[in-house]
């Protein structure tokens, strides 16, 4: 049966969200002959629609619905209404992501075992053996066209990378390269090679960077088994008297509400909206929200330990030219508690344009020191720190009943406090990042506080035991057999690596599981 599907069709799999998790899952299921309705809160934009201008692009793509923040993190102070910089559009945040595609290290699947007890951290081992993921990682790398894997060459290094590499080598770092990037170094998979335009975060106008928006989604649609409804904002998941989910209530672009029936519902709305939707779907049978018998829905929010280091040199660098994040130092990603913290971190090249640099370099810190830094923008180099942060039960998404969104539903509140391990790791990373630039003659260095989160993880975590988390090893909720979580919110721990590759690998794996279970009539 070809799309579109009737609202009353209770044989379809409904997937909420079309990003790295939901978009890939929709295509993978459609390719297997499964009928899928994907509901996307945002609109549809393709490479010709993307805007090579930071503020204008932000207005086009960013998720700007009502949100509140609390906790001791700098973001709550500096950007209280924008805890996360994610995308509201078909393709989700795969439009805005930088493309860094790294596999977890084996030990990161088993953080509780590897690190031992860490006071205040709610560590748990993933219920997945690392070897289970090898083939899925390879499939994900091939789907995304990841450089330095599968005989695909690395990207060339831009000036920002050359400065970064020279400093890294001067310090004795060895694992330095332009990284594993889901950005074509040569034309591949009907997509052009990278043109080094430098607006990776604004959507790749060349289609060189993988995004679900123009790869997986249209391919799924081409099978006739996938219907994507854009500007379809999901309000609530419905269930029957037996506790099985039966459909999804959503508002269309005009605010009219519709109920799409479903055989299975998969939630892939990112780590803020996914738990919020489960909590907003509370009922007499599930007063604490769907899939929340453990009380863990919304808890263990992780955003990675981040920060940036910028440096000024006496000659131009023009860091904005070329691929934004094709540059990585991986030597510090190891687990080595002698540094004063568990887990590790990556250092990755990063360039912001002047508008975002003005907003992010030293929020609220206008003055001569700040303006002279901006005057030296042409001579700047920059890097981003990304490391494993500790899951904490108190870092969580809750419903803020005092603030309503445009549909009258309670907005999510994002509460985050740094764990002492996060602080120790960030301080170490600042020191090393500054040393990288000082080793090649930086005249000034700027350790820069974390930006609004782009890596949002946890909040519906995987666990072996139903009392410890929300979903099992396949993303199937412990409480409701036909309700799945299909995004980064299922992460048990965060690891040091950018999460997209793992989200995609888990989505491919989940599609295999769902199709097999449907075939056996188990769900």
pTM: 0.97
User: Does 422 fall in a domain?
Assistant: yes
The 10 Å Cβ neighbour count of residue 86 is: 26
Give the DSSP H/E element, type plus range, for residue 193.
none
CA–CA dist 323, 345 (Å, integer): 21
CA–CA dist 514, 217 (Å, integer): 18
Give the DSSP H/E element, type plus range, for residue 260.
strand 257-261
pLDDT value, residue 2: 60
Contact by Cβ (8 Å): 350, 486: no
**Among 307, 93, 55, 309, which Cα is nearest to 182's?**
93
CA–CA dist 118, 116 (Å, integer): 6
Provide the pairing of β-strand 68-70 with 410-415. Answer: parallel
CA–CA dist 356, 424 (Å, integer): 27
User: Does 6 fall in a domain?
Assistant: no
The answer to whether the bond into 4 is cis (omega within 30° of 0) is yes
In tens, the pLDDT along 288-304 reads 999 999 999 999 999 99
User: Does 366 fall in a domain?
Assistant: yes
Contact by Cβ (8 Å): 273, 488: no
pLDDT value, residue 360: 78
CA–CA dist 351, 310 (Å, integer): 9
Domain residue limits at 154: 13-519
In tens, the pLDDT along 226-246 reads 999 999 999 999 999 999 999
Give the DSSP H/E element, type plus range, for residue 293.
none
Q: DSSP letters of 227-239? A: EEESS-EEEEEEE
The 10 Å Cβ neighbour count of residue 214 is: 23
**Among 474, 461, 410, 492, which Cα is nearest to 296's?**
461
Residue 13 β-bridge partners: 36, 264
Q: How far is CA 420 from CA 116, 342, 491, in A?
A: 16, 11, 21
Supply the CATH number for residue 248's domain: 3.50.50.60
Per-residue confidence in pLDDT tens, the chain, 523 aa: 466 999 999 999 999 999 999 999 999 999 999 999 999 999 999 999 999 999 999 999 999 999 999 999 989 888 899 999 999 999 999 999 999 999 999 999 999 999 999 999 999 999 999 999 999 999 999 999 999 999 999 999 999 999 999 999 999 999 999 999 999 999 999 999 999 999 999 999 999 999 999 999 999 999 999 999 999 999 999 999 999 999 999 999 999 999 999 999 999 999 999 999 999 999 999 999 999 999 999 999 999 999 999 999 999 999 999 999 999 999 999 999 999 999 999 999 999 888 887 777 776 667 787 788 888 899 999 999 999 999 999 999 999 999 999 999 999 999 999 999 999 999 999 999 999 999 999 999 999 999 899 999 999 999 999 999 999 999 999 999 999 999 999 999 999 999 999 999 999 999 999 999 999 999 9
Q: How far is CA 10 from CA 7, 32, 103, 266, in A?
A: 8, 18, 37, 14
pLDDT value, residue 334: 98
**Among 443, 449, 458, 445, which Cα is nearest to 494's?**
458
Residue 307 β-bridge partners: 385
Contact by Cβ (8 Å): 270, 276: no
User: Does 8 fall in a domain?
Assistant: no
- The helix/strand/coil state of 511 is helix
User: Does 2 fall in a domain?
Assistant: no
In tens, the pLDDT along 163-204 reads 999 999 999 999 999 999 999 999 999 999 999 999 999 999
The 10 Å Cβ neighbour count of residue 239 is: 20
In tens, the pLDDT along 69-86 reads 999 998 988 889 999 999
User: Does 268 fall in a domain?
Assistant: yes
Provide the pairing of β-strand 264-267 with 305-312. Answer: unpaired
Contact by Cβ (8 Å): 190, 216: no
Region at 269 (left for phi over 0; alpha for psi -120 to 50; beta for the rest):
alpha
Contact by Cβ (8 Å): 73, 268: no
Q: Say how many residues make up the chain.
A: 523
Residue 483 β-bridge partners: 265
Q: DSSP letters of 356-414? A: HHHHHSSTT--SHHHHHHHHTGGGEEEEEEEEPPPP-TTSEEEEEEEEE-TTSPEEEEE
Q: How far is CA 186 from CA 196, 210, 417, 425, in A?
A: 12, 13, 43, 36
CA–CA dist 153, 147 (Å, integer): 6
CA–CA dist 496, 485 (Å, integer): 22
CA–CA dist 330, 173 (Å, integer): 8
Query: CB under 8 Å to 176, separation ≥6 — which residues?
Result: 164, 165, 168, 169, 328, 329, 330, 331
CA–CA dist 407, 88 (Å, integer): 16
User: Does 37 fall in a domain?
Assistant: yes
Q: How many domains does the chain have?
A: 1
User: Does 167 fall in a domain?
Assistant: yes
């Amino acid at each position: 049966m070809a799309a579109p599907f009737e609202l009353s069709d209770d044989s379809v799999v409904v997937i909420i969200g079309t990003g790295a998790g939901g978009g890939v899952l929709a295509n993978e299921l459609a390719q297997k002959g499964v009928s899928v309705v994907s509901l996307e809160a945002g609109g549809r934009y393709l490479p010709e629609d993307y805007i090579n201008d930071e503020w204008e692009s932000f207005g086009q793509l960013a998720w700007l619905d009502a949100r509140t923040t609390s906790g001791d993190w700098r973001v709550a102070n500096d950007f209280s209404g924008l805890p996360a910089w994610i995308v509201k559009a078909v393709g989700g945040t795969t439009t805005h992501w930088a493309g860094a595609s790294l596999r977890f290290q084996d030990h990161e699947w088993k953080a509780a075992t590897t690190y031992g007890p860490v006071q205040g951290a709610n560590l748990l081992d993933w219920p997945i053996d690392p070897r289970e993921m090898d083939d899925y990682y390879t499939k994900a790398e091939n789907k995304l066209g990841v450089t330095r894997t599968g005989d695909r060459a690395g990207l060339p290094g831009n000036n920002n990378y050359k400065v970064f590499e020279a400093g890294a080598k001067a310090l004795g770092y060895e694992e330095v390269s332009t990284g594993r990037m889901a950005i074509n170094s040569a034309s591949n998979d009907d997509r052009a090679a990278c043109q080094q335009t430098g607006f990776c975060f604004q959507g790749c106008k060349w289609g060189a960077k993988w995004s679900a928006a123009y790869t997986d989604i249209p391919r799924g649609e081409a099978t006739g088994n996938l219907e994507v409804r854009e500007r379809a904002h999901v309000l609530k998941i419905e269930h029957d008297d037996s506790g099985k989910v039966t459909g999804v209530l959503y508002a269309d672009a005009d605010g009219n509400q519709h109920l799409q029936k479903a055989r299975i519902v998969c939630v892939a709305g990112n780590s803020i909206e996914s738990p919020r939707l489960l909590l907003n779907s509370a009922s007499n049978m599930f007063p604490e929200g769907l899939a929340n018998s453990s009380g863990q829905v919304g808890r263990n929010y992780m955003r990675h330990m981040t920060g940036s280091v910028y440096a000024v040199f006496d000659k131009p660098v023009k860091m904005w030219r070329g691929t934004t994040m094709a540059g990585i130092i991986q030597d510090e990603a190891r687990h080595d508690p002698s540094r004063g913290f568990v887990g590790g971190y990556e250092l990755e090249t990063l360039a912001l344009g002047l508008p975002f640099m003005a907003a992010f370099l030293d929020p609220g810190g206008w003055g001569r020191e700040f303006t002279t830094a901006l005057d030296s923008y042409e001579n700047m180099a920059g890097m981003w720190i990304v490391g494993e942060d500790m899951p904490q039960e108190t870092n969580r998404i809750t419903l803020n009943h005092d603030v309503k969104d445009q549909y009258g539903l309670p907005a999510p509140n994002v509460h985050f406090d740094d764990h002492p391990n996060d602080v120790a790791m960030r301080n170490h990373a600042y020191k090393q990042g500054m040393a990288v630039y000082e080793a090649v003659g930086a005249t000034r260095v700027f350790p820069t506080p974390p930006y609004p989160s782009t890596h949002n993880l946890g909040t519906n975590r995987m666990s072996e035991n139903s009392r410890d988390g929300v979903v099992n090893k396949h993303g199937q909720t412990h409480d409701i057999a036909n309700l799945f979580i299909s995004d980064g919110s299922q992460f048990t721990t965060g690891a040091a690596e950018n999460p997209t590759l793992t989200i995609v690998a888990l989505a491919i794996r989940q599609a295999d599981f769902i199709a097999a279970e449907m075939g056996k009539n188990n769900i």
